[in-house]
Amino acid sequence: MRVGKDLVAAAATPIVLGILAEGESYGYAILQRIGELSDGRLEWSDGMLYPLLHRLERLGHVESSWGVAANGRPRKNYRLSRSGSAALEEQRRQWSVVTETLARAWDPGARSIAWGTT
């Protein structure tokens, strides 16, 4: 199954912030983690990830620093900033509303139970 571009774009920020909440990481590892979390159903490219990381860095949600990989090559590492943690919490609240609304729209029985009506 291929997930549409619009849905992937909408979910990109909370996914990356959530991954960085696990700890500092670098581009390739973030791409690998997205694959793991989605059981391979979401495939991102460098061209999708790096512009997002740069935007999150400009917004102050992500900080970066240069390090050295095991092979001796330079590697840019990313970590969640304090404002990034706050942004992640806000994303969680917003996505909870979206997922609850979708569940209710797709399952009318869930709507009755969730809203306390029968």
CATH number at residue 78: 1.10.10.10
Give me the amino acid identity at 3: V
Max CA distance (Å), the chain: 64
- Between CA 85 and CA 90 the distance in angstroms is 9
pLDDT tier at 114 (50, 70, 90 boundaries)?
low
Tokens, residue 73: 């090559």
- Between CA 20 and CA 92 the distance in angstroms is 14
Assess whether pLDDT exceeds 80 at residue 117: no
Task: Judge whether 101 lies within some domain.
Answer: yes
- Between CA 107 and CA 101 the distance in angstroms is 10
pLDDT tier at 1 (50, 70, 90 boundaries)?
confident
Domain residues for 15?
A: 5-113
pTM: 0.87
- Provide the pLDDT for residue 85: 98
- Provide the pLDDT for residue 29: 97
Number of independent structural domains in the chain: 1
Task: Judge whether 118 lies within some domain.
Answer: no
Looking at the chain, the whole-number percentage of residues with pLDDT higher than 70 is 92
